[in-house]
Structure 1
Amino acid sequence: MTRIKVLLACVSVAALAACSSVPREITMRGPIALGSPLFDTRSSYGQFLAGQAALRDGQSKQAATYFDAAAAMDSGSGVIDERAFTALLLAGDITRAAAVAPTGADTTEAVKRLSVLTRVVEAIAVGDGKTANTLLTTSPPGFPHQQAAALLAPWTAALAGDKDGAVVQPTLRNDKLVQFFGQQGQARIFERAKRYDEAETDYKALTSNAATASIFTLDYGAFLERRKRHEDAVALYDTALRTAPNDIGLMRARARAAAKGTPPPLPTIRQGAAEGLIACAATFAGERQAQFAQAYLRLALRLDPARDEAWVLLGDLMNQNEDPKGAIEALAHVPPTSTHYVTAQTKTAWALNDLGDKAKALEVARAAAAAAPGDRDAQVALADLLRSGGQWNDAVSVLDPLIAREGVSPDWRLLYLRAVSLEQGGRWPEAERDLKTALKLNPEEPELLNFLGYSWIDRGENLKDALAMVQRAVNARPQSGAMLDSLGWAYYRLGDYKTAVQKLEAAVELEPGDPDINGHLGDAYWQVGRKTEAVFQWRRVLSLEPDDKQKAEAEAKLKNGLGPAGAPVVKSTAANN
């Protein structure tokens, strides 16, 4: 398991308040194309609007270009200066972002704080420890940057030549992230000062803690290798491999230590500072604060541009922000020699798929899976891409050996994924078998309850059992529109159309763009005599990019309704088992 995955799974911090480092968007009624006359780029306002649109669409580099031009036309505008700074930061041009970082009286407090942090990082990057240290002590960035400030402080002290200040472990009240990564930083600074016993005390504390051992084992092992204690390093790696036998980083480290190869060098001050920023970025990503996470990763990469896991996480964020081109560009920084290469390639495949290049996406995914036949994530990504492209049997063929390898108690998620492909491929009895097996392994998993329950409902089978299952799913996830749709459809199939309407209306409110849910609501409206509203819903289905089956069903209903007797155009309800 990579450090980023472990960090996202293990580090728990208080939820961030609804505070943004990015000024509030100028609200508009609906999207405006960049070619619109409103984006007259001959004016600073036109450049500003174009930058707003680009930033909203995740195109940070393009946004930076527009805001930079706007600032040049209208220097001194607080809003434009803030936007230019933000766009440059998100685009990764930290040097320019630090140069234009707004600090004036009309600058919002949130941007001032991020400006200070950006200037601190740039000072570290150019080796100006005195400036970095002064900024942190005289103008410490406040919420939500206290963690970053605390973790950077020892490194700025070390860069400024303050040997005593550098070895003080940073603390924040009840903050585990600062505690753990602060201790890691202290260990490295002790090692830099040749205070090896104190460094090892820190490493032992981190690796003896069950919550952090997997995060810091490679660091402690590298320390032991640098001390030429190869047998101790091998023993440490062996212990970790018993828990994570397929971890590529651990396997490579063990092989290197066993061969008494050249160990990883002690991280530089810049690299040590970057580590803390990446930890903060992972926390922001886990809290769905994507722009903070992206900004922190850009700052970290200014200090350590060869940090592969940061490029992977950045690519992930950009893909989530619907910027697949930016994601591909970020992921391309990960070299084939990296332990993160296969992960980067599988994520590149998904980005290519999002761009519509499905053939290239499959080519990349197949190569990644072939390069790492033991990497489950790579195999699962290939299977899911095959499934999304309608190659259901091929997807099943990829998943079969993964499930077989796990013996009598496979991961329920693998069974779930195979069931999806089997069901879509028309192999329902096999899909049903997988879902039942998965539910025995994890009987309260909402996704399983909903999938099997809805499948039975849609097939007119086991309706009472299916109703109970989807009700349990909804109880677990009341804000899931898909699960509420299953519940509404169950009532529909049981003939309780009034309740079906109530549930399906709630489902549409949660998932207004789902063709299936809108179609189901139209059917329910028809059954309670609200035929005008039924027709509206079926017409809406056609506006929501339906697949061929959904489109044909909606067109048939618009032409013929639900039949002269008012019966739903679905299979008749089977007897309950």
Structure 2
Amino acid sequence: MRHLLTAACLPLLLVSACATAPPNGVTTAALGAPGSAYGLFLAGSSALGDGRNSEALRLLELAKAQGAVDPAVTERAFTAALLAGDIERAALLAPDGDGASDQGRRMGRLTRAVEALAEGKGKVAREVIGNDGIGFPHRGAVALLSPWVAASLGDLEGSLVRPTVRGDGAVDYFGQIGQAHLFERARRYDEAETNFKAVTGGESPTEIAVSAYGGFLERRGRRPDALALYDAALRRNPDNLALKAARSRAATRKPPPAAPTVQQGAAFALLAPAVTLISNKQTQVGLAYLRLSLRLDPERNDGWLMLGDLLQQQGDTTGARAAYLRPRPGAPEFASGQSKLAWSYQSAGDKAEALKLARAAAATGVRDGRLTLADLLSANGDDAAAVAIWNTELAPGQDADWQLYYARGRAYGRMDRWKEAEADLLQAIRLRPDESELLNYLGYGWVDRGERLPEAMAMIEKALAANPRSGAIIDSLGWAHYRLGDYKKAVEVIEQAIELEAGDPEINNHLGDAYWMVGRKDEAVFQWRRVLTLNPDAKIKADAEKKLASGLGPSPKLAGQ
């Protein structure tokens, strides 16, 4: 969801209710005047609602300069500065006093504390977060941040207090990792290791926990133990770039990563709740936390990639691309950043730039870069070149990946090499037997060819049971009935698919065929004409045009034909 509130309102949890009157100092006569304070206020509020945060800040500050002195203007300017990543400016604009909303005041104090810590002013940071002025929804962030504020002041006892917030498992987990780092900082290595073992002891420890413990082991001169830890994690997640880079570093006896500084530890303390908030769809506050984290540690590449993804989702393509460019060549995240950047250009229709960036990512030798290039080549119609890359990745001795078999199988299908496509799709299903998209794709392929129909129907029905609201899968089921000659049932089922996927050209084309076969010819013609308005691929377009031109409708495609 791109907007949490209307354009004239402030982002949820950061600001107060919508303004219904002009800001103080602005006369009603000036409301419609171009460049007036109120006009700038409205334009800035609209930009803020659209996620154009830098533009919003510029307009709202112009409104202030034009005489808008209402606290709502300052509060929105604060929000815009914070979400745009101008934390220094946001700290200066932080809402306070009687006119500020509770939400704005709390976020403002957290912002001021982070800016103070970033500037090395730990005493100011402690004063800001220690006066009980920051409450819901920031208790977890403050709990995780406080030990690092204490560490910045040399308060050893305060820095080693375990963060807790009743009922907040994320604070318990990430607080334990932070406490482990602070134990290490205090040279209490046994206690640090006890914490690290606790957070990596489950069946699927997080990359963050494994990386933190592995780095500690490397710093303690225990490279074999670090390698064993990385190897175990990579067996569970063989494509994790950060873990592969960490293992390579340990195996080649390169210098271990330094223990986190106070600011780096504080940055991690805010990154953890940011991840939780974003995963819970609280994207505005999550974005604010990400910006605060990156103010403390601007070299945190995983944070920049996360920021890029969030901005891309919100429609801020310029901001997303700037974030994806932050990892520099040689960094483990560089290829991933270039891949994401390439897809950004692909989505915008600049295929040449997308392929250029993908080739640069592939040239790093990182597997993720090569696979991005293959995906983009395929998306742009060069399936043969994509297949050549996938052939290398699926060579004997390589780790089997169902998604690669699926991607190559689809490419073979588009190249009319069905037997090879079928072999890849069957292999993918052997590796991932319950994947609904995969089951539907192969089942539909058999249905469309009139092959193995009972098996195809079973596959499609299994896929539909797992994903009953998928228009594509419902269409596959309807098309299976069509192929079996049950046109009445085909109409009934494909109409359900259209309700879910009204703009899909293939489903509309299928519905037209089914209508024709039950004698509803005017409706069939309408559907085929509609297909031509939905940007169909060449094959579907040619099929619809042929039926419209001939006036004869589709050939009855029955089982086995």
TM-score (norm 1): 0.82
Please tell me the residue identity of whatever aligns with 1:356.
G
Please tell me the residue identity of whatever aligns with 2:331.
S
Q: Which residue of 2 aligns with 1:396?
A: 387
1:483 aligns with 2:473: yes
| SS of equivalent to 1:127 | coil
Alignment of 1:175-254 (within 5 A): 175-212=168-205, 214-226=207-219, 229-230=220-221, 232-244=222-234, 249-250=242-243, 253=246
Q: Which residue of 1 aligns with 2:257?
A: 264
Check conservation: 2:163, 2:171, Cα contact below 8 A.
yes
Please tell me the residue identity of whatever aligns with 1:397.
A
In the aligned structure 1, how far is the partner of 2:532 from the partner of 2:100?
47
In the aligned structure 2, how far is the partner of 1:556 from the partner of 1:47?
55
C-alpha spacing 1:258/1:51, structure 2 compared with 1 (3 Å): same
In the aligned structure 1, how far is the partner of 2:13 from the partner of 2:514?
42
In the aligned structure 2, how far is the partner of 1:71 from the partner of 1:59?
18
Q: Which residue of 1 aligns with 2:5?
A: none
In the aligned structure 2, how far is the partner of 1:560 from the partner of 1:437?
41
Q: Which residue of 2 aligns with 1:574?
A: 559
Q: Deviations over 1:436-460 (max 9, x none)?
A: 2222232221011110122223333
Check conservation: 1:207, 1:213, Cα contact below 8 A.
yes
In the aligned structure 1, how far is the partner of 2:58 from the partner of 2:438?
47
- 1:272 deviates by 0.5
In the aligned structure 2, how far is the partner of 1:502 from the partner of 1:106?
60
| SS of equivalent to 2:441 | helix
In the aligned structure 2, how far is the partner of 1:508 from the partner of 1:213?
41
Please tell me the residue identity of whatever aligns with 2:61.
D
- 1:251 deviates by 5.6
Q: Which residue of 1 aligns with 2:360?
A: 367
In the aligned structure 2, how far is the partner of 1:510 from the partner of 1:369?
38
| SS of equivalent to 2:480 | helix
Check conservation: 2:15, 2:101, Cα contact below 8 A.
no
In the aligned structure 2, how far is the partner of 1:39 from the partner of 1:438?
62
| Pairing partner for 1:151 from 136, 144, 168 | 144
Q: Which residue of 2 aligns with 1:413?
A: 403
Please tell me the residue identity of whatever aligns with 2:170.
L
Q: Which residue of 1 aligns with 2:443?
A: 453
Check conservation: 2:143, 2:163, Cα contact below 8 A.
yes
Q: Which residue of 2 aligns with 1:312?
A: 305
Q: Which residue of 1 aligns with 2:511?
A: 521
Check conservation: 1:461, 1:574, Cα contact below 8 A.
yes
- 1:108 deviates by 5.5
Q: Which residue of 1 aligns with 2:277?
A: 284
1:385 aligns with 2:376: yes
Q: Deviations over 1:338-383 (max 9, x none)?
A: 11112112112212222322222222222322322xx432222111
Check conservation: 1:516, 1:541, Cα contact below 8 A.
yes
In the aligned structure 2, how far is the partner of 1:69 from the partner of 1:525?
60
In the aligned structure 1, how far is the partner of 2:32 from the partner of 2:461?
50
Q: Which runs of 5+ in 1 are unaligned?
A: 1-17, 27-37
Q: Which residue of 2 aligns with 1:31?
A: none
- 1:515 deviates by 2.5
| SS of equivalent to 1:69 | helix
Higher relative contact order (CA 8 A, sep 6+): 1
**Higher mean displacement: 522-531 or 453-462:** 522-531
What percent identity do the matched residue pairs reach? 48
- 1:19 deviates by 6.3
| Pairing partner for 1:434 from 410, 415, 424 | 424
In the aligned structure 1, how far is the partner of 2:559 from the partner of 2:513?
19
**Higher mean displacement: 277-286 or 522-531:** 522-531
Q: Which residue of 2 aligns with 1:127?
A: 120
- 1:523 deviates by 3.9
- 1:168 deviates by 0.6
Q: Which runs of 5+ in 2 are unaligned?
A: 1-10, 20-30
| SS of equivalent to 2:130 | helix
- 1:55 deviates by 4.5
Please tell me the residue identity of whatever aligns with 1:163.
L
C-alpha spacing 1:188/1:392, structure 2 compared with 1 (3 Å): same
In the aligned structure 2, how far is the partner of 1:432 from the partner of 1:341?
35
In the aligned structure 1, how far is the partner of 2:71 from the partner of 2:493?
48
In the aligned structure 2, how far is the partner of 1:466 from the partner of 1:39?
64
Please tell me the residue identity of whatever aligns with 2:445.
S
Check conservation: 1:462, 1:574, Cα contact below 8 A.
no
Check conservation: 2:214, 2:230, Cα contact below 8 A.
no
Q: Deviations over 1:236-271 (max 9, x none)?
A: 223422441766555655565577654433322111
Please tell me the residue identity of whatever aligns with 1:401.
T
C-alpha spacing 1:464/1:219, structure 2 compared with 1 (3 Å): closer
1:323 aligns with 2:308: no
Length, aligned pairs only: 537
- 1:88 deviates by 2.0
- 1:186 deviates by 1.3
Q: Deviations over 1:304-332 (max 9, x none)?
A: 01111111221222233343332221111
RMSD over aligned Cα atoms? 3.4
- 1:528 deviates by 4.8
C-alpha spacing 1:440/1:261, structure 2 compared with 1 (3 Å): closer
In the aligned structure 1, how far is the partner of 2:453 from the partner of 2:218?
63
- 1:92 deviates by 0.9
| Pairing partner for 1:63 from 31, 56, 59 | 56
Check conservation: 2:226, 2:250, Cα contact below 8 A.
no
In the aligned structure 2, how far is the partner of 1:522 from the partner of 1:104?
65
**Higher mean displacement: 88-97 or 257-266:** 257-266
- 1:406 deviates by 5.0
| SS of equivalent to 1:265 | coil
- 1:274 deviates by 0.5
Q: Deviations over 1:164-213 (max 9, x none)?
A: 22211112335332222211211222233333333333233334444436
Please tell me the residue identity of whatever aligns with 1:267.
P
1:338 aligns with 2:331: yes
